[in-house]
Amino acid sequence: MGKVHVIYGNTAHTMVQRLLTTTGVLSSIQPDDAVVIKPNLVVSRRNWQGVNTDPRVVTALVEMLKQQGVSRITVADGSGMGYNATQAFAVCGYQEMAKRYGLKLVDLERDRFVAKSVPIDGPFRSLEIAQTVLECDVLINVPIMKAHSFTRITCALKNLKGVMPRALKTRFHSVDLSRAIVQLNSVLRPDLILVDGLQGDLSSETGQTPVKMERLLLGMNPVEVDSVVADMLGYAPRSIQHIAYSADAGLGTCDLNSIEVMSLNQPTTQVHFQAPVHHSRRFPCQIVAEGACCTCMGNLIFALERLQEQRLLSKQQTFLVGQQAQVPVHGKGMTIAVGQCAVKNSQADVCIDVCPPSAGIIYRRVASALKNN
């Protein structure tokens, strides 16, 4: 049985501390180990929020490693096309962090690369991997969970792409990208995965539509972690090619029934919470959000995106989310209560009585209710 831990909230520091302390995952790291932390720093522009790994998550991780006596800590990444990690370190606050904690920052595109033969079938026989990453004792992958325009989602499996030279990263896009990602993951296995799910993007890996999701995830296996993330973003894990291929290649399970999701807490409700206007305008349905957690709202937004892709949304649907969400007096059509709070306080046609319901659960329940309607 796989295991993925989840914690909800918006205090990154406390959340990371609690995740790492409760699970005890750092106890096997020795003080003289060379630790490499690999965030996702795909862009190096000022509005990086929801696109790059939040430095607060990495700072908290560094502090925990320091408490353990670890002194050789490197933060390393190579950015996406048109950007560079050296600049990303500066604009996102990683440079200040490095000064404060005595960290080494490595722009992996400037690293030396070593060719590693690939043990599984796919477009490549060998892949060049940054020496810094290959030579470390402990690799901690710290991706951000978000949508991706080609692969639908990007998280732990795809985040490793940053360890290769630019030319090879570009070649990944001229072959079967999903197979290439699996090949990369057959060569390089992180020791730990800490997912930044505080805020991710709804539709793009480089950011247009950030959504607050207020959660962090921790796991040891990238296929299991990405499968839980896929469900949180509204997809069946098997519908994401690189997850399905990874599972078929024996890198981990993507069967949600074989992955135990351990929640360390419940999301925190907001006293007043209105659905962000840009999201209400994005979808034809009505959204009534009052006293909802950002987590529940974020999951609903991702589910609405999936339902919209399938042309299942209409003006005749009202989604209710949060403690004070009520069916509108002149409401017409189908009402859908999303989450335990909304179910308790409204007499909706469709009740999704889960706290918090993942985008996958919301999508499946609504799609099935519409089919049976």
At closest approach, how far in Å is the CB of 302 from ligand SF4?
Answer: 14
For residue 313, what are its two tokens? Answer: 């949304």
By CB under 6 A, which span of 104-112, 252-260, 292-300, 305-313 interacts with ligand SF4? 292-300
Considering only residues 240-269, where is the footprint of ligand SF4 by CB under 6 A?
266-267, 269
Nearer to ligand SF4, 149 or 266 (CB): 266
In angstroms, the CA 4 to CA 6 distance is: 7
φ/ψ of 115, rounded to 5, equals -80, 130
At closest approach, how far in Å is the CB of 210 from ligand SF4?
Answer: 19
Considering only residues 76-135, where is the footprint of ligand SF4 by CB under 6 A?
none
Nearer to ligand SF4, 123 or 291 (CB): 291
Cβ neighbours of residue 89 under 8 Å, at least 6 residues apart?
A: 41, 75, 95, 98, 105, 107
8 A C-beta contact, residue 211 and residue 240: no
Q: Can you state the angle between helices 94-101 and 55-67, rounded to 10 degrees?
A: 10
Q: Which of 120, 254, 234 is nearest to 188 (CA)?
A: 120
Nearer to ligand SF4, 205 or 290 (CB): 290
296 binds ligand SF4 (CB under 6 A): yes
291 CB neighbour count, 10 Å cutoff: 17
User: Residue 165: enclosing H or E segment and its boundaries?
Assistant: none
292 binds ligand SF4 (CB under 6 A): yes
At closest approach, how far in Å is the CB of 293 from ligand SF4?
Answer: 3
Considering only residues 301-360, where is the footprint of ligand SF4 by CB under 6 A?
322, 339-341, 355-356
DSSP per-residue string spanning 1-51: -EEEEEEESS-HHHHHHHHHHHH-GGGG--TT-EEEEEE-----SS--TTT
Q: Which of 295, 324, 346, 358 is close enough to bind ligand SF4 by CB under 6 A?
A: 295
Burial class of residue 220 in the structure, from the number of CB atoms within 10 Å of its CB (0-12 exposed, 13-18 middle, 19+ buried): middle
Q: Are strands 34-39 and 72-77 parallel, antiparallel or unpaired?
A: parallel
At closest approach, how far in Å is the CB of 327 from ligand SF4?
Answer: 16
By CB under 6 A, which span of 35-43, 182-190, 192-200, 290-298 interacts with ligand SF4? 290-298
* Total of chain residues touching ligand SF4, rule CB under 6 A: 13
Closest residue to ligand SF4, judged by C-beta, is: 339
At closest approach, how far in Å is the CB of 345 from ligand SF4?
Answer: 10
**Between the CA of residue 82 and those of 44, 48, 53, 107, 206, what are the distances in Å?**
9, 14, 18, 14, 11
Nearer to ligand SF4, 47 or 266 (CB): 266
369 binds ligand SF4 (CB under 6 A): no
Name the residues that contact ligand SF4, by CB under 6 A: 266-267, 269, 292-293, 295-296, 322, 339-341, 355-356
